[in-house]
Structure 1
Amino acid sequence: MRMSSNYKFMLQLGGLATLLNMLLHLAVAWVLWHDKENVPLWGKASMVSFMFIGGGLAGFIVGYVVTKATRYALLKRWVFPLHWHLKSQTLIDRLPRRIFYRSFMLALSGVLFAFITLLCFKALNLTTLAAPEFLIFISLLAFLLASTVTVMAFYRALGDGTYLRSKMQLIK
């Protein structure tokens, strides 16, 4: 059984986005803490500030790039639009239509990832992580964030304008 062109495109785009996001987070974290033994949870150069800033920026950038790439793929007919419109009102359907606002909302999901992680650290009473452990942890967090944002941005971009296109076909 062949894989749908939409799934194939999403996996290729998502794989590239997650790999680049992981490498970028890993590189920045390595530059900041490669000479340190432990990475503190709180403070100016800490896990919290890195996760909030990195999560927000990654959510925005990945959401923006994936939406633009999906819209371009729709124009080139590499992928096909969804055949439903936004009446179901799932979380993805509630993302804004305009790309900047949508990317901002996806950036907030990156900040939410960081907040949930912070709550888990607090529940475990973690105040520091060894630098190598933190590098592994931040790579996994970057992978999860980029893959989640990719799926949300991709499916929302596939649904962009579907309702309007169906109305235009009814008028013709």
Structure 2
Amino acid sequence: MPSIFSLFCCLLLFFSKSIVFAAAPANNSEIDRQTLLCFKSGIYSDPLGILNSWLNTSLNFCHWPGVTCGAGIPIRVVSLDLTGNFISGAIPEELGTLPQLQTLMLASNRLEANCSSLDTLILSRNNLSGEIPAALFSYLPRLGTVDLQINSLSGVVPPFGDSAQGPRQ
């Protein structure tokens, strides 16, 4: 017959494993929450106050305006839609750490991203549609390789990189 002590140890071990397994998904959700807060910290103007409820003390980030989370466990951000809010600031690289992000809509804002050192842009096999924006390439002075295959884009790829500045010297 097992002693009370060994029974206690077995129960303790069982519950500690349950806690560890339950904590792992929570850590992934916390990474998403911190990434959203990082995004907010780069915003220096939010005239409509859309990000006012994005607080470090708020744990339920799935209810923040513009944020949609998936139904699975762990809870992960699947969509970020801040279209038309006239926010100004920088888009942080950390936004790429949202592994479940499927939709990113940031149109009609005044956001910036420092891509001046970008030399390769590969966006093939996506659902991109519409005209290829010429202005995009004017902000990427070092761009040398572009792959936009298997999309629904129209128009022509504007000159970029060295071809936009004439022949190499």
Q: TM-score band (shorter)?
A: under 0.3
TM-score when scaled to structure 1? 0.25
Report which structure shows greater RCO (CA 8 Å, sep ≥6). Answer: 1
TM-score when scaled to structure 2? 0.26
Of Structure 1 and Structure 2, which has the larger fraction of its residues in helix? 1
